[in-house]
Amino acid sequence: MKQRMTQLTRWMFLVFTGILLFSACTTHRNLIKKPIKEEGADYLFRKLKERELQFATFSARFSADYQNGNQKYAFSGQIRIQKDTLIWLSLSVMGIEGMRLMISQDSIKYINRLNDTYLTGDWDDLNRFLHTHIEYDILQSFLIGNDISFYEDGKFKASIDKDEYKLSAAARMKMKKYIRKQEDAVNVFVQNIWLNPQTFKITRADVKELRKDNMKLDATYSSFESIGNLLFPREMTYQITAENRIMVDVKFSRITIDEPMKFPFKIPDNFTPIRP
């Protein structure tokens, strides 16, 4: 009997030791990340395009924190997009709408309910105000977390930056067939794109205008969730570096795509126009 107990004790000891060793080895293996396989720019761009959010219409609610120097504001709102056509924004403070914007390929309009004013202008007016040359497609892409469309992508170089893929272009120009005005022909950007190596979703992107050394737009994307069969970042951080440094943190909720939607925008008769 004593011999049997001794054998049983030894057997249990061996099993327990084996479990510990297996657990330790498994944990160690999980902690070791496999190195990222080097890939070419063409392959990475193809995967990037395959994983982009595809939509005809997009809508979401959001909350945001805005900082410009010592000025800080918190607000919420709604965004609606008809792809490549229209961006509609409603901004509210404490549940009360303060501003509404309507942005198209050609025009920019907004209503400021805080001081009963309105503005109607175009992208030239906005770019003169910002001292840059941004356009509709760049704005739409950065809001959604997709790559900018209608621009050349053949000059990108691929590399590995820490645990992500990085695509870099020293000069990215608009495709000739999409140039509507002569000014668009000189719309050249330095651009970097970082990709998650598992999902090939953009985790960070920046653009810097060649002729404006101090003008840069940087965006980071996180907290991805499935929209249909594709991933969309619920959280985004934008940094605009120009004469001042502007930071905007955005969190999205109630995201829907490809549903019928309206874009209401009416300027009240008693509102005063202001110049861009």
96-155 pLDDT, tens digit each: 999 999 999 889 998 999 999 999 988 877 776 655 667 888 889 999 999 988 778 778
Q: CA 159 → CA 149, 188, 221, distances in Å?
A: 22, 22, 20
Query: What per-residue confidence (pLDDT) applies to 24?
Result: 36
Secondary structure of residue 109 in the 3-state scheme: strand
Q: Between 175 and 67, where is the model more confident? A: 67
CATH of span 41-273? 2.50.20.10
> What pTM does this model have?
0.81
155-207 tens-digit pLDDT: 889 999 989 999 998 888 777 666 666 655 556 678 999 999 999 999 999 98
CA angle 64, 66, 71 (to 5 degrees): 150
Delimit the domains of the chain by residue range.
41-273
Let me know if 205 is exposed, middle or buried by CB neighbors in 10 A (0-12, 13-18, 19+). buried
Q: What is the mean pLDDT of residues 79-106?
A: 94
